[in-house]
Amino acid sequence: MEGRGPNRELHAIHPYPSLAGAEQVLDGVCVGADLRQASVFAGKKMVNPRAFKFFYSASCWGAGQLEQELEEGQWVAAACSKELILKESSYWEKPLWQVPDLPLALSL
């Protein structure tokens, strides 16, 4: 997600570093993945589909830009545990994605 400005793509946070395209950002927390592969793995019960959190769009910063904005007081940093980041939400009756016959179907 490196770069500047808004990134209008689907992003995922999950605990599976072995997925293609996953970048481990801290121990046990990954960003990104090949979602087609994740869909296949979920169908084979190799990953839990409820362990994925999806986000559309993201803010991206250039090198040093976020640090500068933090110093200027534009953002407030907060610590939280990986358990909180990866906590399964009970907001939805079922996961926002399912594993049908076709790879990666988002059920909205």
Show the tokens assigned to 13.
Answer: 């946070």
Could you tell me which residue, 91 or 54, shows the higher pLDDT? 54
Other Cβ atoms within 10 Å of 89 Cβ, number: 9
pLDDT at 70: 93
Q: Which residues contact 24 (CB under 8 A, 6 or more apart)?
A: 17, 30
The rounded distance, in Å, linking the Cα atoms of 14 and 17 is 8
Given this model, what pLDDT does residue 6 score?
54
Q: Which residue type occupies 75?
A: W
Do residues 31 and 79 make contact, with C-beta atoms less than 8 angstroms apart? Answer: no
In this structure, which amino acid lies at residue 34?
Answer: D
Longest dimension (CA), the chain: 50
Give the position of tokens 């046990």. 28
Please tell me whether the overall predicted TM-score, pTM, comes out greater than 0.85 for this model.
Answer: no
Q: What is the pLDDT of residues 40-75, one digit of tens each?
A: 898 899 998 888 988 877 777 889 999 999 999 999
